[in-house]
Amino acid sequence: MDTQVVSRSSKSFFLPNLNSASNLNQENVGEVEGKVKTKFLSMWNNMKYELNSVGMKLKPNFSKESPVWLLGMCYRKLESPNESTELGTDIAAFQSQSDINTSEDEGLEGFKKDFTSKLWLTYRREFPILNGSTYSSDCGWGCMIRSGQMLIAQALVLHFLGREWRYSPENRETGVYHRKIIKWFGDKPSRNSPLSLHSLVKIGKGLGKKPGDWYGPGLVAHLFRQAFKDASIDNFEFDTIHVYVAQNCTVYIRDIFDECMDQATNRWKSLILLIPVRLGAEKFNPIYSPCLTTLLSIKECIGVIGGRPKHSLYFIGYQDDKLIHLDPHYCQDVVDVWAPDFPLTSFHCRSPRKLAISKIDPSCCIGFYCRTKEDFLTLIETIQPIVVPPNGAGYYPMFTFCDGFSCDAEYTENDFSASELEYLNCNVDIDDIGSEPFEIV
């Protein structure tokens, strides 16, 4: 991956002439300071990112023996009588397989193609200034929004291209929707890019957030719910998809039936189900480790956004006790996605990474995609035993399904603390509240 190189000729940019700066008006001074800050932040983030990047290959911390799960697909090493099972043997015996979904790709190439096909949405710089601010980059604060964009992008890929789709620059047939999906996330204030950083930050203002603020996973889920409603006005493709955000770790089934059924056409809208959860108090509770990894192995799962404190990541799979993720912290130049045949390489990552599940922040958001009503009913049946911790007597499930409407839920002051009631009333991000409803400890 290309790295940022700063030449001597850039010195004048970083150290502007003080006499010249003194002649600038206050607005221009602020603009120069903002550019300098953006430049340093992007260099710093890219340096940290590159320290761990070794190109597209299985790093030493990827076991050649253990299966690798990637959003419902399992890549495992197959043994044959003529092969040794020692770590030093050829790894070409990897094959993609799953009890739920299969792939025609075999060997290590199957995993590589699957991973690199995921859309990678990262920090960008030099995009149009966010309204009401001086920000032309989200470097240092937009990582949770970028993680959320990747989660939603995966749902859109499933909806329009399918799980078997693989990125190929030569494939013009599927490339049309591939590019269209990327355009919807383009970094510009446009109705044709309804899922852009600009659109999401604009929605965030209505929830008390301003450009430069850090967003939690719960709030990001609500941003996308509203973004899809707004997008359906100008983009007919969004009429066929509904985003539902669980309330207080509860999915109300009747609400989804009502909201996903298009009354005008009597057709079911495909469902993107987002469930904000908190799996621990101050840190992640390991009792939920098998629950989380098992969820990543079912075909309806589109991933998890979370990460480390103030450092968001997009989790898409696991191997042993480590989660595989895409990292949004690499800062890249903005791409004009409305230019003909715009370059695609910066939207796909070639470096798989892992993080010990014990190190993740307890606050996260789990996503699922269900194309049909039958898929949703199957998901309910599949998930309910998974979200209960094994041998975890006395622990709450990660989340629950309720066969009813959210408006029928009766809450009293005896059921919740003051801060929990505040959450129920204002329905904002769980990270902004001192105590979360149904906190799992």
Catalytic residues: 143, 327, 329
Indicate the burial class of 436 (C-beta count within 10 angstroms; 0-12, 13-18, 19 or more): buried
Task: Give the per-residue SS3 of 268-315.
Answer: ECEEEEEEEEECCCCCCCHHHHHHHHHHCCCCCEEEEEEEECCEEEEE
Q: Which amino acid is residue 402, in one-letter code?
A: C
R_g (Cα) of the chain, nearest Å: 23
Spatial separation of the C-alpha atoms in residues 72 and 80, rounded to whole Å: 25
Q: To 10 degrees, the CA torsion angle through 433, 434, 438, 441?
A: 140
Question: Do the Cβ atoms of 4 and 102 come closer than 8 Å?
Answer: no
Spatial separation of the C-alpha atoms in residues 368 and 379, rounded to whole Å: 9
Spatial separation of the C-alpha atoms in residues 398 and 279, rounded to whole Å: 7
Spatial separation of the C-alpha atoms in residues 302 and 341, rounded to whole Å: 28
Question: Do the Cβ atoms of 394 and 335 come closer than 8 Å?
Answer: no
Beta bridge pairs of residue 95: 76, 106
Q: Distance between alpha carbon 367 and the CA centroid of its chain, in Å?
A: 9
Take residue 323 and report the two structure tokens written for it: 């989660």
Residues 6 or more apart whose CB falls under 8 angstroms from that of 415 comprise none
Indicate the burial class of 160 (C-beta count within 10 angstroms; 0-12, 13-18, 19 or more): middle
Spatial separation of the C-alpha atoms in residues 223 and 384, rounded to whole Å: 27
Indicate the burial class of 5 (C-beta count within 10 angstroms; 0-12, 13-18, 19 or more): exposed
Instruction: Tell me the C-alpha to C-alpha distance, in Å, between residue 217 and each of 205, 327, 362.
Output: 16, 15, 11
